[in-house]
Structure 1
Amino acid sequence: MRFRPLRSAPAPDTERVTVVDPPATMDAVVFPAAGGPEALRTASVPVPSPVISELLVRVVAAGVNPIDAKTRSGAGVSGQIPAFPSTLGFDFSGIVVKSPYDSHPFAPGTPVFGMAAFPRSGGTYAEYAVVPSLSVARKPASLSHVEAAGVPLAALTAWGLVVETAHAHEGQRILIHAGSGGVGHFAVQFAAYFGAHVTVTASARNASWLRELGAAVVIDYTTTRFEEVIADVDVVIDLVGNLQDRIGGRSLSVLRPGGLYIVVPTGSWPGYAEAAAAAGVRATNYKVIPDGGALATVGRLLDSGAVQVYIDRVFDLGDAAAAHRMLEEGHTRGKIVLRVSDD
């Protein structure tokens, strides 16, 4: 992995840009009910209003995540959407337009990135979004808004998995399934940064790239059964689940006694805890926590060059359906991002 020197963050007042009052309406991608990518369409909707500790942000770019596609199709968090039509999207990078009070740390004009409280509020596939102030951080100065929009959900998920749950450390042996995806490519980098020996399952086309990110071993899942070549792993981070080729069940067999299995895809293996106990290992699921403090730490790592975000494809907001089709085809390297407005 190539490292760049740590750069000091610019002073807050030099980061601000000029803002104007928002219009009454905005363009947003909405879907009237669960369905395929074709359910997504662009519509004119009212600009939301922030309350209490919320920020109103002009969205420059929005990340596209698997949870978005699952929710659009009727799974994911679709059951918690209060009304339709609804606007998808958790990730964003943009400019603060309204703050809770005059001296708030994220004053109007501040470039920020973070996560919206979707589905409790409207999502980020829109020109403006209301977001919790505790779920954002200053945008890394070294990243464009498009790059920054690919970070929050994926990087915070990876941070929670690798740092807060696996407690990655020098010499620890970690196996990461689907290491070339959005969460996976961050998990590889965080684990390597903290000194772990990282093994990744991925396709052969991503092997050299993953080694550059810090993977010590890359196993081509199309030609090799990982359980035939590794054993006594301390932690397995499963970003696939047990629905595909019983990856979850096979993962338990490569863990050392007392090792830790972490499964991420919701509902992918209802019986994981019982199977892990029978195998003599520990197990937990995981859901992302939109923590602005952790995101600020990730931002400093990005600015230092110790961690990188990879954007596979950028679509315009009106092409959200095409972005979802690409996402659902699989094999995405890193992240897909929607360009919402000009920087």
Structure 2
Amino acid sequence: MTRKIIHCDCDCFYASVEMRDDPSLRGRPLAVGGQPDQRGVIATCNYEARAFGIRSAMPSGQAVKLCPDLLILPPAMERYREASQRIMAIYRDYTDQIEPLSLDEAYLDVSDSGRCGGSATLIAREIRARIAADVGITVSAGVAPNKFLAKIASDWRKPDGLFVIRPDDVDAFVAALPVERLFGVGKVTAERLRALGVDTCGDLRTHALADLCDRFGVFGQRLYERCRGIDTREVCPDRERKSISVETTYTRDLKTLADCEAALQPLLRQLDERIVRARRGEPLTIAKVFVKIRFADFSRTTAEAGALGVDPEQCRQLLGEAVARRRRPVRLLGVGVRLLDAGAARQLRLFDDLPAAEPA
């Protein structure tokens, strides 16, 4: 059976919520993120700001140089989460097969949905209209037979667009795609492909699977499948969280281990709060704790160890280990936990429940 997958992606989500709540912000270059004088970065920006070349993850100082009139607002995560919850509730009216990728992005499998006569296109159209009316922001959507194509389709007519790739159109559509549109193909891989005379997915199809695997390793298999529009991944409603972490970039470098230890304390409190919040929605089993550092020269290191929970003393030891690797001022400090996968966690609980063996 041909599946019906919808990929929904809110348009410049954080900025859209800000413009919804304060209409006077509309029409002017707007970004959400950290301030330039605090080594901040841009989390997202509206399309007026993008016209100046501003993009997500750009240093705020660089963004202001590109657009001196840029307004940068601090993130308001509670409002963003509230908007996301309302959007997810709308999705659930159409299917329970929902795979959230973030607050503003999700896959929906509507193959078995009876809404809108079973038409994925009409479902996507209705979802977009409801979100615009009820939540006050716009969503772009892509409809296709698989996740790979649905994600490409949602970006095809951004912002506030809907694009449908029907099963009969898949082959021709994918053949004309530039290879840069394939997930995982960055500048380096694209240059390697161009050196082979490959500019489009149609060009890529002339290379045998064995040849692509020889040149690109395991990624060669992915290239072979995607250039033919093949993606067998299912929409996974129970997408597992793999880690929880917090981090801060400091206005002034932390110059000593004592400075870093003092900065670690509020991060540990934030991490505890985030873990408690995550456990309200799902069972979590901690497997490791880690400390992440970015030094003043932008080099990075991470120290981690097995753990059953967040022990401040263990985190301080990891911090000392990480700082000693470079002995340079620290511009970013983070702390987090890696989680045991649900299957392994269930197995551990199974054995924990066994009664102790009686003495012979």
Larger Rg: 2
TM-score tier, shorter chain, comes to: under 0.3
Greater fraction helix = 2
TM-score (norm 1): 0.25
Q: Which has the higher contact order (CA 8 A, sep 6+)?
A: 1
Q: Structure 1 or 2: larger strand share? A: 1
